[in-house]
Amino acid sequence: MKIEKVQIKNFKSLRDIEIELRGLTLLTGVNSSGKSSFIQALLLLKQNEDRFFSLRGNKIANINDINKYVRLGNKKDILYEGAFKENIEISIFGNKSSHSLIFEHETLQIEFTELLPEEIEKTFNIFYDDFQYITTDRIAPDISYKLSDEHISQNIIGIQGEYTAHYLAQNAHKKLDIEALKLPQAITNHLLENVSLWLAEISNGITVNAKLYNELQQVNLTYSYVYGKNKTSEYSPLNVGFGLTYVLPIIVAILKAKAGDLLIIENPESHLHPAGQSKIAQMCALAVANGVQIIVESHSDHFLNAIRVATKQHILEPENSLIYYFSKLSDSMETKVEQLLIDENGNINENWPEGFFDEYRNLLDELLW
């Protein structure tokens, strides 16, 4: 089940917000305005998923039991600055169900719509085994990478993409669930070939390979370049552009997704040329158009504009995306959230808030006048 709405109260700077989610939800805004806090609130739900389905009688647990997706300290560290005795509440809603976390004192209370046993597996997509979150702090180029049979068996690559190489080595010939993500020049719909071809959209001619060494408990990731009828030797990630390895987990996460999945990505534009940023946005649009739910935090006008183009080209329907601009109120620590829409022509049919991707225009005005 996809998440349709999120309500958050008294969590960091999010005093009381309600955000509708669609297929693609783009979070934008100035630094330290609450975008990451919104994502952290969702990750707290995922982090406590066992409680939703096991503590049906006694729904009280200690707040510090688990530190998997986020580490936030005690309640006082995450309580809205202007709150005193109020609880922190994080709630998600779908067409049949709702789940809530309520932080009261030093305990965590769970509330949820009762589900029939056969409906448990159809609950919110954030609780799926293969839910994927890719943080801003992703893997960097290295000689070798870690293994995790546990992660690979659950169809996930780690929050930093640290098991991407292992996943590629194990699933090189796995077929894509979403046929639309297969590039026209691909001979097969196998994962590794299409990862290489999408990566080549960012750096022309590049191919990627991953080789598993069980006896050493490591995976080697290598890159080659094809030029004309020739192919270079294999290079370590240390000897190609930094951005290629940094974006690799995002490409793999999108290509391994299937309809109904939830994918959360932070700053997909990091270390990428503008054209590469647009390609990642195109991938997201194709995945969303085929049933994947994606939440993206981004500062990239190239990512935004590529989504607008995908909408104009009818790859992504206007009703399948939403943009939120986060800012801070001038007289408090409270986050203000403004919703913007993309119409069928790719236009943002609202007045652009001050600070919403307007720096190019501001600097151009300085140059012209």
| CATH code for position 369 | 3.40.50.300
Domain with 24 in it: 1-128+261-369
Average per-residue pLDDT for the chain? 87
* Cβ-contact 4, 93 below 8 angstroms: yes
Of the two residues 361 and 204, the one the predictor is more confident about is: 204
Pair (176, 93) in one structural domain: no
Last residue in a domain, options 205, 238, 260: 260
Pair (124, 272) in one structural domain: yes
Report the pLDDT value the prediction gives residue 76, as an integer from 0 to 100. 75
Residue 229 pLDDT grade (very low, low, confident, very high; cuts 50, 70, 90): confident
Pair (157, 55) in one structural domain: no
Average pLDDT over residues 160-164: 95
The identity of residue 255, as a single letter, is: L
Report the pLDDT value the prediction gives residue 195, as an integer from 0 to 100. 97
Pair (360, 330) in one structural domain: yes
Q: How many domains does the chain have?
A: 2
- Whole-angstrom distance, CA of residue 33 vs CA of residue 69: 21
Pair (123, 271) in one structural domain: yes
pLDDT at residue 251 is higher than 60: yes
Report the pLDDT value the prediction gives residue 65, as an integer from 0 to 100. 40
Residue 116 pLDDT grade (very low, low, confident, very high; cuts 50, 70, 90): low
pLDDT in tens, 305-315: 999 999 999 99
Lookup: tokens for 297: 């935090």
Pair (122, 216) in one structural domain: no
pLDDT in tens, 130-145: 899 999 999 999 999 9
Last residue in a domain, options 193, 226, 260: 260
pLDDT-above-70 percentage for the chain: 87
- Whole-angstrom distance, CA of residue 7 vs CA of residue 92: 6
Residue 246's φ and ψ, nearest 5 degrees, are -70, -35
Pair (209, 103) in one structural domain: no
pLDDT at residue 10 is higher than 50: yes
pLDDT in tens, 170-216: 999 999 999 999 999 999 999 999 999 999 999 999 999 999 998 88
Average pLDDT over residues 139-152: 92
H helices within the chain, ranges in order?
Answer: 35-47, 49-54, 75-78, 149-153, 164-171, 191-200, 242-255, 274-289, 301-312, 359-368
pLDDT at residue 363 is higher than 50: yes
Pair (216, 227) in one structural domain: yes
Pair (177, 111) in one structural domain: no
Pair (265, 254) in one structural domain: no
Average pLDDT over residues 122-133: 87
Pair (1, 120) in one structural domain: yes
Residue 61 pLDDT grade (very low, low, confident, very high; cuts 50, 70, 90): very low
- Whole-angstrom distance, CA of residue 182 vs CA of residue 127: 27
Report the pLDDT value the prediction gives residue 119, as an integer from 0 to 100. 59
Report the pLDDT value the prediction gives residue 227, as an integer from 0 to 100. 85
Report the pLDDT value the prediction gives residue 328, as an integer from 0 to 100. 86
The least confident of 134-138, 351-355, 359-363 is 359-363
Report the pLDDT value the prediction gives residue 179, as an integer from 0 to 100. 96
Report the pLDDT value the prediction gives residue 106, as an integer from 0 to 100. 61
DSSP string, 53-121: HH-SS--EEETTS--SS----SHHHHB-TT-SSPPEEEEEE-SS-EEEEEEETTEEEEEE----GGGGG
Last residue in a domain, options 241, 260, 279: 260
pLDDT in tens, 41-58: 999 888 887 666 664 443
